[in-house]
Each structure stands twice: as structure tokens, then as C-alpha cells.
Amino acid sequence: MNKQETLRILQKIQAGSMSPEDALSKLCAEPFEDLGYAKPDHHRELRQGVPEVIFGLGKTPEQITGIVTAMLGKGQRLILITRLSPESAETVEKTVPLNYHETARIGIVGEIPEPSGVGKIVVATGGTSDMPIAEEAALTAEALGNEVVRLYDVGVAGLHRLLSRLDVIMSARVIIAIAGMEGALTSVIGGLVDCPVIGVPTSVGYGASFGGVSALLTMLNSCASGVSVVNIDNGFGAGYLASMINHQDRTNA
């Protein structure tokens, strides 16, 4: 149940077309469903504004299919599945209408909505190798109703590539800066713009990058103001946070 459905119930009570008892019965419907191996949270959208997202890694295709089926049965119109392997996707799409994005390892059930955010979210990467995490962030943001602009391979090793797109980054409402190696892209962008910058360190790099720890520490120690950092390779978390920021009215921010 989402906020719009709850509002419609309350409006029916106000209009006298639904009794308070019937409304209470609907509102008190089981907020989660026990499938044995999972408990889908059907009231997540009512509480947080965004339905529950399925983390596919570690789940069998049959479990993912069961969770998706339960969500669809409760009227959820768009379902996001992250870290979904190609093999699992092949099995799941035999039962449910799945749109699979292999680079991002994301499966989407339902149609991506029209953008409803205040402005644009820019997703920038240091290199091409960061694209899987960038696509996870970008598709997450798009699935949550945002216009996304992608700027890939604009890292500090060739700073002119980023500077040639200053018009794009300066017009953003939120920027997701994704980089491995030393992760300097986040600080550079943070020093150029007046909007929030979300740093995403990736595990891309040679031995001393320690699987993304080097980039993580660089971003955490950024001297640029207005920079926040999510966990290593957490494109989903960055896309989700960027969407929350982009749906905040500037007058209330």
C-alpha cells in the first residue's frame, strides 16, 4: 500500500462511501507477508515513499521469483532487483516480465516512471571500468523517478574531459561521483559545484588500492564541502540517496 492509496481510503471515509471499520480493516492488513524464506515488506512505500527493493545476491532464482510474485500480488507496479546475476535473470524472466540490465546487474519489473524530481542527477565516473557501479546508480535513480545524465570516463588523469562538460555538472541538482584507484574525482567535482556530491568508491584499482579502501579513504578525507560518501561499490545506495535529495523542494531543503 502506498501513500496515494491510503489517501484515497481517507477521502472515501470523508465522503461517506466507506465506513471507518472497513478502512481500518484495509489499513491493518498484514504489513508483511511470510513466505518462509523471506518476509516482503508491503508497507515500505507507505512509510518511506519507495517500495522495498530486492537484493538478488545470495538468493536463488526461485526465491527471487516468489518475492516478486508476492509484491505484484499486492499491487506493486515497479520492482527493482539489484545484484542479479545473468543466470538468475534468465530463470526469473521465464515467470515474471523482467527487463534485465546486465552491466548494472539490475532487473526491473514494470515501467520506469516519468521523472518527478526537482532537477537532474549527474552520474560521473573516473573511468570506463567504473561503469557497472555507475549504471547501478543511474538505473536506481531513474527507477525512482529522476532524470539522469551520464558522464563516463571523465577522471582526473585527463581533467580536460571533465572541464569540457562544466555546463552539465554546474546544472545538476545532485552529482554522484564514482571512482576507483585513488578516488580523487569526488573532491575535484565537489570543489566546482554548489550542489550535494555523493562519492562512490569502487574496487577498481591495482594492489595498493586495497579493493576500494584507498578510494574510500580519499573521499572520506575530501577537503571539498558538501561531499558525502557511501560504501565501496554501493551504486544503489548512491542512486537512492540522490533521489531523496532530488525530490526535496528547494524551499524546504
18-41 average pLDDT score: 72
Q: Do residue 143 and residue 240 come from a single domain?
A: yes
As a whole number, mean pLDDT of residues 53-60 equals 94
- Given 109, 131, 156, the domain boundary residue is 109
* Residue 1 pLDDT > 60: no
Helix axes 20-27, 3-15, angle to 10 degrees: 170
In a domain, 206, yes or no: yes
Task: Report residue 217's pLDDT band, with 50, 70 and 90 as the boundaries.
Answer: very high
- Same domain, residue pair 197 and 98: no
- Averaged pLDDT, 87-115: 94
18 domain residue, yes or no? no
Same domain, 181 and 136: yes
Q: Return the bridge partners of 167, or none.
A: none
Q: What is the distance between the alpha carbons of residues 111 and 170, in angstroms, rounded to a whole number?
A: 30
**Is the pLDDT reported for residue 224 higher than 60?**
yes
Residues 76 and 169 in one domain: no
Per-residue pLDDT, averaged over 222-239, amounts to 95
End-to-end CA distance of the chain: 27
Q: Does residue 8 come out as left (phi exceeding 0), alpha (psi in the -120 to 50 range) or beta?
A: alpha
Q: Closest Cα partner for 179 from 225, 139, 238, 120?
A: 238
Q: If we measure between CA atoms, which residue out of 108, 97, 94 comes closest to residue 56? A: 108
3-state secondary structure (DSSP) of residue 242: helix
Q: Are 78 and 138 contained in the same domain?
A: no
13 domain residue, yes or no? no
108, with CB counted inside 10 A (0-12, 13-18, 19+), is buried
Same domain, 151 and 242: yes
In a domain? residue 192: yes
| Predicted confidence band of residue 16 (pLDDT cuts 50, 70, 90) | confident
What's the half-sphere exposure (Cβ side, CA atoms, 13 Å) at 85? 8
Q: pLDDT-derived band of residue 90, with 50, 70 and 90 as boundaries?
A: very high
pLDDT of residue 77: 87
Q: How confident is the model at residue 71 (pLDDT cuts 50, 70, 90)?
A: confident
User: Average model confidence (pLDDT) for the chain?
Assistant: 89
Answer yes or no: do 104 and 206 share one domain: no
- pLDDT > 80? residue 222: yes
- Is 115 among the domain residues? no
| pLDDT at site 31 | 75
Domain annotation covers residue 161: yes
C-alpha grid cell, residue 50 = 519507495
Q: How far apart are CA 239 and CA 80, in angstroms?
A: 12
| Residue 251 confidence (pLDDT) | 47
pLDDT score of 142 more than 80: yes
One domain, residues 84 and 156: no
The cell for 113 is 516512471
In a domain, 19, yes or no: no
Q: Given CA atoms 84, 90, 91, 95 in this order, what sign does their dihedral have?
A: positive
Range of the domain at 138: 120-252
What's the pTM?
Answer: 0.85
Mean pLDDT along residues 211-236: 95
Say if residue 234 is in the same domain as residue 135. Answer: yes
- pLDDT tens digits, one per residue of 146-185: 999 999 999 898 999 999 999 999 999 999 999 999 999 9
Q: What DSSP string describes 55-96?
A: E-TT--HHHHHHHHHHHHHTT---EEEES--HHHHHHHTTTS
Which residue in this structure is represented by grid cell 519507495? Answer: 50
Task: Report the 10 Å Cβ neighbour count for 156.
Answer: 17
Query: What residues are paired with 150 via a beta bridge?
Result: 123
Q: Are residues 154 and 41 in the same domain?
A: no
Indicate whether 50 and 90 sit together in one domain.
yes
d(Cα 184, Cα 172) in Å, to the nearest integer?
19
Q: Sorting pLDDT into bands at 50, 70 and 90, what band is 75? A: confident
Last residue of a domain, one of 61, 80, 109: 109
How many folded domains does the chain comprise?
2
Q: Where does the pLDDT of residue 253 fall: very low under 50, low under 70, confident under 90, or very high at 90 and above?
A: very low
Residue 197 in any domain: the answer is yes
